[in-house]
Amino acid sequence: MQLKVLKFGGSSLADANQFRKVAEIVHADPARRYVVPSAPGKRFKEDDKVTDLLYTCFDLALAEKDISETFEKIEERYRSIIRDLGLDYSLDKEFETIRTAILHCAGRDYVASRGEYLNGLILANYLGYDFIDPQRYIFFRDNGSFDSEKTNIILSAILKQHERAVIPGFYGTMPNGTIKTFSRGGSDITGSIVARAANADVYENWTDVSGFLMADPRLVDNPKIIETITYKELRELSYMGATVLHEEAIFPVRYAGIPINIRNTNKPEEKGTMIVSSASDVMSDYVITGIAGKCGFSVVSIEKDMMNSEIGFGRRVLEAIEKCDICFEHLPSGIDTMSVVINSNDIVGKRDFLLTEICRLTEPDMIEIEDHLALIAVVGRSMVKAKGTAARIFSALSAAGVNIKMIDQGSSELNIIIGVDENDYVTALRAIYDEFVK
């Protein structure tokens, strides 16, 4: 029989009604054996996420201020779920333990992790599943990095002892036994870790959208859903701001060759997006898989006659960048010119030092920094085979009156990156979408 691991995001578990949907989804398929919940998210726009309330409690306690009002809000979120589900279950003892711990200056990660912990207890009770506390089975090293191998061995063994279980997301344990959380949104990572340990056939990640969209719905009207996407394509799109899944959630399942299926808790009939290792055999209706972009980049342009024959020139430019402790995004170059695209936020307060260092190390004829660049990534595994993709992008942009400032094609031919002025960003994105999708 198949085995599926499911992760439900905060909005999927925000109230009793959402819990009912979750139970229906879980019970609809006997293969759905392991469930990873987030903490209750927002029920409506102005609502609080429980994790945010917990962080507030921690901050208040640290400042020796009263936590009562905020803590009661948290209690009420869980109490109302229990009450509305009609469960004969109480978390009063847990609330008391957590409140006392906060007042006695418990660690920030411990406090934040209680959102998932409490939601996991309720969900396990409601589903009739066992409860597995990741504090005992998901391990971090002393330096704070996740210990994937130790976790995989121990968690695999423990899962074998439980036919069906709920494992709260977001946290694990440090070698000294204290709790450590992943970064925000980290329940996605837990889901992936559990899927790998369970050797699942699929990792279903249930959220409030029906999968990855081909473009940002705030910028493009009704963008189409991506049916299948490879891990590599996803990485390119996520890097450029298309976020549905935590970036690090890819690694455990990718390593084990387990596909991720992004699904919508509110529309379980929709198939969502399948994220797979290879999709060379999966036909897609479009040459491109998706488009994503971001504003806020700067370009450092360097010119020097005969740069092409000066050995070590590029290395010296990168050395200056390294000295400023910044990463670079792209490195388009010509014969006597070299440009380095960097995130504008990264050079705040370092501009003069960066220019001075590059000048000192390379003695250029000209150097300048230009801001307000937007980058757009056009991503698609089918681009390798399709002739004329770049030409179509450029003519669409030219027809829309957009001036292209930079072009970079990844060596895998998986993406084409275009740099345009921030003022042209939305026009450019729409023009490319219309060219390939409409």
Does 180 participate in binding ligand ASP (rule CB under 6 A)?
no
Q: Which of 120, 168, 186, 419 is in the footprint of ligand ASP by CB under 6 A?
A: 186
DSSP letter for 7, please. E
Q: Which residue sits closest to ligand ASP, CB atoms considered?
A: 187
Strand partners, 248: none
Question: For residue 293, which phi and psi values (nearest 5 degrees)?
Answer: -160, 170
Do residues 99 and 71 make contact, with C-beta atoms less than 8 angstroms apart?
Answer: yes
Q: How far apart are CA 69 and CA 403, in angstroms?
A: 54
Residue 241 backbone zone (phi > 0: left; psi -120 to 50: alpha; other: beta): left
Does 39 participate in binding ligand ASP (rule CB under 6 A)?
yes
* Residues sharing a CB contact under 8 Å with residue 366, sequence separation 6 or more, in sequence order: 301, 302, 303, 304
* Minimum gap (Å) between residue 241 Cβ and ligand ASP: 18
Do residues 132 and 166 make contact, with C-beta atoms less than 8 angstroms apart?
Answer: yes
Does 114 participate in binding ligand ASP (rule CB under 6 A)?
no
Q: Which of 11, 12, 18, 38 is in the footprint of ligand ASP by CB under 6 A?
A: 38
133 or 319: CB nearest ligand ASP: 133
From first CA to last CA, the distance across the chain in angstroms is 41
**Of the listed pieces 65-73, 88-96, 181-189, 231-239, which binds ligand ASP according to CB under 6 A?**
181-189
The CA radius of gyration of the chain, in Å to the nearest whole number, is 25
* Minimum gap (Å) between residue 6 Cβ and ligand ASP: 14
Q: How far apart are CA 404 and CA 418, in angstroms?
A: 7
Does 77 participate in binding ligand ASP (rule CB under 6 A)?
no
Question: For residue 309, which phi and psi values (nearest 5 degrees)?
Answer: -105, 10
Does 51 participate in binding ligand ASP (rule CB under 6 A)?
yes
Q: CB count, 10 Å around CB of 214?
A: 24
Q: Which of 15, 70, 115, 135 is in the footprint of ligand ASP by CB under 6 A?
A: 115
* Minimum gap (Å) between residue 117 Cβ and ligand ASP: 11
Residue type, 117: Y
Q: How far apart are CA 205 and CA 197, in angstroms?
A: 16
* Minimum gap (Å) between residue 112 Cβ and ligand ASP: 7
* Minimum gap (Å) between residue 264 Cβ and ligand ASP: 17
Q: CB count, 10 Å around CB of 208?
A: 17
What is the per-residue binding string for ligand ASP in 287-326, x denoting contact by CB under 6 A?
A: ----------------------------------------
Q: How far apart are CA 274 and CA 195, in angstroms?
A: 15
Residue with tokens 């089975």: 137
37 or 293: CB nearest ligand ASP: 37
* Minimum gap (Å) between residue 87 Cβ and ligand ASP: 22
Q: CB count, 10 Å around CB of 384?
A: 11
Does 120 participate in binding ligand ASP (rule CB under 6 A)?
no
Q: CB count, 10 Å around CB of 361?
A: 17
Does 49 participate in binding ligand ASP (rule CB under 6 A)?
yes
185 or 272: CB nearest ligand ASP: 185
Does 185 participate in binding ligand ASP (rule CB under 6 A)?
yes
Does 252 participate in binding ligand ASP (rule CB under 6 A)?
no
171 or 436: CB nearest ligand ASP: 171
Q: For residue 192, give Cα distances in angstroms to 5, 31, 231.
A: 8, 16, 13
* Minimum gap (Å) between residue 51 Cβ and ligand ASP: 4
**Of the listed pieces 140-148, 185-193, 342-350, 393-401, which binds ligand ASP according to CB under 6 A?**
185-193
Does 187 participate in binding ligand ASP (rule CB under 6 A)?
yes
Where along the sequence are the contacts to ligand ASP (CB under 6 A)? Answer: 10, 38-39, 49, 51, 115, 169-170, 184-188
